[in-house]
Structure 1
Amino acid sequence: MKKIRALVACLAVAGALIVTAPAVQAAGSCYQSGPQAGYGTTYTCGIWRSNHLWAMYGSGNFHGLDNITGVLNAGNSWFICQRKTVVKLEYGSIKNDWFAYTLGDNGYWGWVSATRFSAGGNWEPVPGLGYCPAGFGETDTYPGDRPRGGSRWNIPGPDGESSVRIN
């Protein structure tokens, strides 16, 4: 009987620990992280393959300026926010029109397609990554963009997308 009581007590303690344990992030989803590059709130997310950053702005207009300058390596990276764009990318069976803003590993600012994130579904925002405030990215002078003059947009895209469409 003592053994049964001891077992019940252990199970009760274990159950209490399980109930009070902090929630774990879903595999591959983003999580809020510390300040970066003057932004108070950033998000850390997993990128499944190295890619190039796109320099684009405006919700009504797409400016394909120098979309192959910035580079972001695979692994964990931090991001400012995400927004839906007029650019629709397809990489095999992965399709998305959401992009996230960050500073590339080589010092250029730009947008990373949601097709490169380790979590998320087709035509959906990246889970756990905050949304850009209204007006963010509406001009060519937002934080750090350095497009080179005379550059042309590469189709089907710098990272081998099977399809790039501008809505």
Structure 2
Amino acid sequence: MKKLRAFAACLAVAGSLVVSAPTAQAAGACYQSGAHAGYSPTYTCAIWRSNHLWSMYGSATFTGRDNTTGVLGAGNSWFVCQRKWVVKLEYGPIKNDWFAYTLGDNGYWGWVNAAHFSAGGNWEPVPGLGICPGGFGETANYPGDQPRGGTRFDLSGPDHESNVSIN
């Protein structure tokens, strides 16, 4: 009986150690990664699929431009910051209105929807990625974001998202 009680006490102690252990950072969360293209800090994040960058500016009077120019491949990429936009994107069960700013693999600047990141939840910012300062992205001439030709903005989404809306 004493051995049984001793064993039960050991299990209780071991169980409390497991429960009280600190939780690990979410898999796929972003982390600070130094300076890129004149921005510091920047953040490295995992993208689960190749996608196009959105070119857009303004919140009060939203203007979208050429949302198919920039391209970003799957894997790790660096980002400047993230912010919430009036564009709401649904890609299957994944839904988000947060976008992160980066330089595409083909040399065009733009915004990647949080639905393409490996970490995060619906309608939430990407974990570990910094928030853009107030006013960032509010004009057509913020650093780098120059659309290639015209004012085409395809609301169906550049990556065939099931539902894209401006709210």
Pair in the same fold by TM > 0.5 = yes
Which SS does the other structure have where 2:65 is aligned? coil
Which residue pairs with 1:47 in the alignment?
47
Report what 2:133 is aligned to.
Answer: 133
Matches within 5 A, 1:24-39: 25-39=25-39
**RMSD (CA atoms):** 1.6
Residues 39-118 of structure 1: pairs in structure 2 closer than 5 A:
39-118=39-118
**Shift of the alpha carbon at 1:136?**
0.4
- How far apart, in 1, do the equivalents of 2:155 and 2:134 lie? 29
| Alignment-mate amino acid for residue 108 of structure 1 | Y
Q: For structure 1, which segment, 43-52 or 62-71, has the greater mean C-alpha deviation from structure 2 after superposition? A: 62-71
Tell me how far apart the structure 1 counterparts of residues 29 and 43 of structure 2 sit (CA, whole Å). 10
- The letter for the 1-side match of 2:59 is S
The answer on whether the counterparts of 1:25 and 1:31 sit within 8 Å (CA) in structure 2 is no
The more displaced of 29-38 and 59-68 is: 59-68
Q: In structure 2, give the amino acid aligned to 1:57.
A: Y
What is the alpha-carbon distance in structure 1 between the residues aligned to residue 102 and residue 25 of structure 2? 21
Once residues 129 and 139 of structure 1 are traced to their aligned partners in structure 2, the CA distance between those partners, rounded to angstroms, is 22
Taking the aligned partners of 2:57 and 2:149, their CA distance within structure 1 comes to: 15
Specify the SS of the correspondent of 2:115.
helix
Q: How far is the alpha carbon of 1:148 from its aligned partner?
A: 2.7
Task: Give the share of equivalent positions with the same residue, in percent.
Answer: 76
Mapped contact 2:155–2:165 kept (Cα < 8 A): no
Distance, in Å, in 2 between the alignment partners of 1:36 and 1:150 is 28
**Cα distance in 2, alignment partners of residues 161 and 26 from structure 1:** 25
1:166 matched to 2:166? The reply is yes
How far off its partner does 1:149 sit? 3.3
Shift of 1:146: 1.6
Instruction: Tell me the equivalent position of 1:120.
Output: 120
How many matched pairs? Answer: 147
Q: 1:104 and 1:157 mapped to 2: Cα distance?
A: 17
Aligned equivalents of 1:73 and 1:51: distance in 2? 6
Which amino acid in the other structure matches residue 48 of structure 2?
W
Give the deviation of 1:24 after TM superposition. Answer: 5.9
